[in-house]
């Protein structure tokens, strides 16, 4: 591996540091870890905010489109990894000035789950959010499953259109509709010629033999649709256009925006060969290229290759695509840098690190930072004490969970639960002794989801956030309150993950716990906890003989029968530790 880096573990943070030093007149940090960035006037002027985000390694993608007439904020994860809900939430709070925030990002599982949790957190602060997912990668799924496609370089055209709509003062619903329309009318197709190397791994993300190309490869190295001998620029472009024009159905007189994108190590000269063929083919059909972009707009570190994106314009989209815009990486037309905004305290924000919003929920669900109210207290019972004690012991199950998960998935559940438990322990221990129950659950949910971002962490963490919102108005943490919280936990996990009882997921063990809580009259908390353990253990044992129907384990089909579900076992151990503590 040859890279101009220092310690690979510091790569992203040092990159962000350099970015803020170079462009402090246009960008500022919105979180203490500086993984949430906003333009200097974000959250001012009463206009709709637009927050995007994703993994690092794709500059200028995501980070590069925060500016005037574009996005207002971004959350940045590690290389090819999702940002955490807290980082997304910080960018959201900093981008909102009462008009709401559009989430506009690529359709990747980890991003979707973590943006959803951030939306839950924002809703608790009274911030309205909407979501539009980029789904332009034409070869990542067939047309009848277009909503499952990945979002790649074509998303930049949606940034441009939606950003211009927000800049002219459209409300949140109108900006969201513009973004959806731009996404629906955009298609992208790419080719890879050489792999990329992640700094922390030092290994290629995939391999290609000498003289080979891969059509349809993803920006993280996901497999494409065709691998074969390298073809000429015109032949590759013809492949692109055959697929793209087959779906866009362009005809004589139509107008388009065209984006020819380099993936990181492709000479600009080669990109213009792709544009040349595209221009001539479209002209032969009577299609006008109204606006063209040629260069590096969405990269994959040093991957060699290119992609072609086409947006079928209507009159309004053409007007918005033509509007001025400016960021450190993208300038169109005459537009000044974003002027420094003003915080609620009247201080300028240019080049500064915004103070993170207080996320301690009140009875109303609003944060103290959002309302200025005094924190509400309740009779919290032993919730904080139990959570701290239990999460201190949960990491001891990491090896067992890793082995269970390795038989059905990728083996990372042990890391997820171990890292998540430690993060929850630290976050909840830092709360005051009389922390409101909703504070405890919210802190636990955010910490668990962000410690080692994964589907399981996002689902359980998001469920805990929903549980916290169900308790914002309680005065006493009694059986009724716990029942309400557990019901919200279960419903949110089912809503986001799509699992039902019997699918062999964590839902199978939460459902019997809810049933025990619903009939807990006359029993002590310890008795209810022990009965919940017994019911959950029976569910785990009964489920072992079934085939997994949801999640990564479902990919192994019938081979999943005979194995206990790792996520269910993790939740069972949580219940066992709670019962022991009580």
What value, to the nearest 5°, has the Cα angle with vertex 540 and ends 538 and 544? 120
Q: Is 220 a catalytic residue?
A: yes
Q: What angle do CA 8, 12, 16 make, to 5 degrees?
A: 145
Nearest to 87 by CA among 57, 122, 41: 122
The alpha carbon dihedral of 97, 100, 104, 108 has a sign of: positive
As a whole number of angstroms, the distance between CA 342 and CA 349 comes to: 6
Choose among 159, 83, 71: nearest CA to 115: 83
Q: How far apart are alpha carbons 36 and 93 in whole angstroms?
A: 10
Task: Calculate ∠ Cα 582-509-555, nearest 5°.
Answer: 140
Q: Which has the closest alpha carbon to 437: 392, 385, 391, 487?
A: 385
- Cα 3 to Cα 139, 192, 296: the distances in Å are 31, 20, 19
Enumerate the β-bridge partners of residue 581. none
Q: How far apart are CA 446 and CA 41, in angstroms?
A: 27
Q: Which residues contact 334 (CB under 8 A, 6 or more apart)?
A: 324
Other CB atoms within 10 A of residue 407 CB: 15
251 CB-near residues (< 8 Å, 6+ apart): 285, 286, 287
- Closest residue by Cα to residue 467 from 497, 451, 446: 446
Select which of 23, 220, 436, 573 is catalytic. 220
Q: Count other Cβ atoms within 10 Å, centred on residue 131.
A: 16
Other CB atoms within a 10 A radius of the CB of residue 429 amount to 15
- Residue 257: strand pairing partners: 291, 311
Q: If DSSP codes are grouped into helix, strand and coil, which group holds residue 294?
A: strand
* Residues paired with 38 in a beta bridge: 28, 73
- The answer to whether 544 and 572 have CB atoms below 8 angstroms apart is no
SS3 breakdown of the chain: % helix, strand, coil, rounded to 5?
45, 15, 35
Question: Can you tell me the distance from the alpha carbon of 64 to that of 60, in angstroms, rounded to the nearest whole number?
Answer: 4
Catalytic (active-site) positions: 220
């Amino acid at each position: 591996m040859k890279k101009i880096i220092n310690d690979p573990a510091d790569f992203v943070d040092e990159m962000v540091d350099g970015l803020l030093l170079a462009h402090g007149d246009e960008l500022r940090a919105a979180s203490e870890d500086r993984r949430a960035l906003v333009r200097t006037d974000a959250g001012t002027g009463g206009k709709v905010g637009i927050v995007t985000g994703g993994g690092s390694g794709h500059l200028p993608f995501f980070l590069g489109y925060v500016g005037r007439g574009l996005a207002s904020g971004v959350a940045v994860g590690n290389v090819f990894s999702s940002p955490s809900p807290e980082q997304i939430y910080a960018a959201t709070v900093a981008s909102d000035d009462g008009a709401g925030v559009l989430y506009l990002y690529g359709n990747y599982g980890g991003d979707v789950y973590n943006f959803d949790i951030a939306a839950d957190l924002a809703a608790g602060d009274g911030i309205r959010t909407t979501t539009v997912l980029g789904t332009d990668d034409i070869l990542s799924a067939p047309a009848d499953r277009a909503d499952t496609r990945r979002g790649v370089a074509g998303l930049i055209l949606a940034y441009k259109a939606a950003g211009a709509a927000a800049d002219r003062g459209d409300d949140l619903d109108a900006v969201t509709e513009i973004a959806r329309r731009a996404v629906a009318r955009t298609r992208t197709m790419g080719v890879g010629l050489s792999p990329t190397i992640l700094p922390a791994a030092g290994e290629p993300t995939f391999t290609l033999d000498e003289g080979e190309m891969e059509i349809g490869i993803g920006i993280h190295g996901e497999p494409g649709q065709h691998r074969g001998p390298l073809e000429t620029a015109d032949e590759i472009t013809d492949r692109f256009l055959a697929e793209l024009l087959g779906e866009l159905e362009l005809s004589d007189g139509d107008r388009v925006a065209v984006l020819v994108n380099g993936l990181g190590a492709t000479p600009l000269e080669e990109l213009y060969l792709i544009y040349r063929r595209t221009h001539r083919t479209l002209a032969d059909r009577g299609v006008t290229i109204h606006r063209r972009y040629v260069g590096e707009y969405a990269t994959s570190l040093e991957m060699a290759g290119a992609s072609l994106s086409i947006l079928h314009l209507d009159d309004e989209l053409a007007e918005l695509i033509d509007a001025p815009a400016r960021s450190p990486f993208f300038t169109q037309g005459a537009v000044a840098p974003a002027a420094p905004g003003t915080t609620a305290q009247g201080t300028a924000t240019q080049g500064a690190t915004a103070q993170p919003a207080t996320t301690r929920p009140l009875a109303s669900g609003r944060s103290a930072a959002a309302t200025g109210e005094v924190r509400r207290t309740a009779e919290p019972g032993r919730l904080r004490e139990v959570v701290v004690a239990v999460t201190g012991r949960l990491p001891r199950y990491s090896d067992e969970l890793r082995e269970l998960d390795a038989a059905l998935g990728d083996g990372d559940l042990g890391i997820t639960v171990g890292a998540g438990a430690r993060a929850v322990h630290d976050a909840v221990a830092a709360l005051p002794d009389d922390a409101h129950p909703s504070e405890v659950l919210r802190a636990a949910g955010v910490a668990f989801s962000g410690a080692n971002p994964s589907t399981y962490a996002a689902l359980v963490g998001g469920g805990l956030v929903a549980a916290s919102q169900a308790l914002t108005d309680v005065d006493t943490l009694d059986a009724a309150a716990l029942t309400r919280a557990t019901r919200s936990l279960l419903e949110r996990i089912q809503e986001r993950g799509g699992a039902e009882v019997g699918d062999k997921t964590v839902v199978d063990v939460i459902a019997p716990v809810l049933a025990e809580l619903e009939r807990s009259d006359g029993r002590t908390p310890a008795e209810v906890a022990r009965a919940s353990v017994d019911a959950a253990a029976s569910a785990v044992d009964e489920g072992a003989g079934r085939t997994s129907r949801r999640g990564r384990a479902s990919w192994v089909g019938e081979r999943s029968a005979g194995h206990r579900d790792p996520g269910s076992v993790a939740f069972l151990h949580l219940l066992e530790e709670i019962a022991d503590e009580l």
